[in-house]
Amino acid sequence: MSLFDWFADRRKTLPVARGNQTQEPEDGDGLWSKCPRCALVMYRKDLQANASVCKGCGHHHRIDSEERLRLLADPGSFEALDSELAPIDPLAFKDRRGYSDRLRDAQQATGLKDAVVTGLCRLEGQPLALGVMDFRFMGGSMGSVVGEKLTRLTEEATARAVPLVVVCASGGARMQEGMLSLMQMAKISGALERHRRAGLLYLPLLTHPTTGGVTASFAMLGDLILAEPKALIGFAGRRVIEQTLREKLPEGFQTAEYLRDHGFVDLIVPRTELRSTLANLLRLHSRKPIPQRVVA
């Protein structure tokens, strides 16, 4: 078979959705994905089958909350919590556009009410409370609904005595909600402290990017802090820090690898190994401690 025939056969096997109809693709649009790092072109279904990680260089393509849930939760086990919660515009905020308009556009584009999906599930049969932030929704920014959903999820995990995993992907606090956004940092942190006092496990996964108020609160409060390779993690941006300190920052500053080497991140986990790594951590934590022998 010639290379041309191989391409033709691969294109024929993929239907393209147009409205309510599925038709044969007329061109290659949407069938292939080019890695932004090494320029390797991959068949999109092959890329998704590899957890959206480039087989050439290991670059982790950004994925949405739906794909993340598919990778982590056992099939059919995810039960969404508080999916009806939706943000409002308490400050009638407007810059170049009104906040209400931005919310409406983000909801229509993503099919989400806000930038986080929360719920209960099982991971390799083990019960888990899971929150997944979605960067597509206004840069994963943390407003009052994001904070409320994560707080409720943490409280539900505490009540059910199950571990908690939060996948972080955010530009930080949502400026359109002002102080109502910033207070979510303390609210979530308080709920996490009650979860910790109950002797329960909390694992944040820091993905690209995790910045601002999210980094300054729940992203860094885990019993173990996990990160994906090359993820950007920090509070302020590199240029802001350099201008404030008036000095050049080290190469690779604010990457997951740099933070691991300096003690801020415990473990870097490739996405293709994430499910098995989390399952092992959950199993280790669920084991009862061996009683100490008392010597008279």
Do 32 and 76 reside in the same domain of the chain? no
Do 137 and 183 reside in the same domain of the chain? yes
By the 10 Å C-beta count (0-12 exposed, 13-18 middle, 19+ buried), 267 is classed as middle
Do 168 and 43 reside in the same domain of the chain? no
- What pLDDT score was predicted for residue 295? 56
What residue has token string 């409370």?
Answer: 129
Strand partners, 22: 17
Do 70 and 57 reside in the same domain of the chain? no
Instruction: Decide if 293 is inside a domain.
Output: no
pTM for this one? Answer: 0.86
- What pLDDT score was predicted for residue 3? 43
Do 131 and 4 reside in the same domain of the chain? no
CATH number for the domain spanning 230: value is 3.90.226.10
Q: Which helix (DSSP H) or strand (DSSP E) does residue 120 occupy?
A: strand 116-123
Task: Give which of 202, 196, 213, 197 is closest to 130, Cα–Cα.
Answer: 202
Instruction: Decide if 260 is inside a domain.
Output: yes
Do 27 and 101 reside in the same domain of the chain? no
- What pLDDT score was predicted for residue 80? 98
User: Where a domain ends, among 61, 93, 108?
Assistant: 61
Taking residue 178's Cβ as centre, other Cβ atoms within 10 Å add up to 14
Do 137 and 243 reside in the same domain of the chain? yes
Contact present, 268 and 117 (Cβ < 8 Å): no
User: Where a domain ends, among 42, 61, 80?
Assistant: 61
User: Where a domain ends, among 29, 61, 93?
Assistant: 61
Instruction: Decide if 9 is inside a domain.
Output: yes
Instruction: Decide if 295 is inside a domain.
Output: no
- What pLDDT score was predicted for residue 14? 39
Do 152 and 270 reside in the same domain of the chain? yes
- What pLDDT score was predicted for residue 30? 77
Task: Give which of 184, 125, 182, 192 is closest to 158, Cα–Cα.
Answer: 192
Contact present, 111 and 136 (Cβ < 8 Å): no
Instruction: Decide if 213 is inside a domain.
Output: yes
pLDDT digits (tens, 9 = 90+) for 66-115: 999 999 999 999 999 999 999 999 999 999 999 999 999 999 999 999 99
Do 191 and 210 reside in the same domain of the chain? yes
| Nearest-10 Cα torsion for 135, 138, 141, 146 | -90
- What pLDDT score was predicted for residue 190? 98
Do 39 and 113 reside in the same domain of the chain? no
Do 94 and 214 reside in the same domain of the chain? yes
Do 51 and 106 reside in the same domain of the chain? no
Within the chain, which residues score under 70 in pLDDT? Answer: 1-29, 287-296
- What pLDDT score was predicted for residue 286? 85
What residue has token string 């056969």?
Answer: 9
Tokens describing residue 133 = 């932030």
Instruction: Decide if 211 is inside a domain.
Output: yes
Instruction: Decide if 296 is inside a domain.
Output: no
What residue has token string 């950004």?
Answer: 62
Instruction: Decide if 99 is inside a domain.
Output: yes
- Domain boundaries, position 217: 62-286
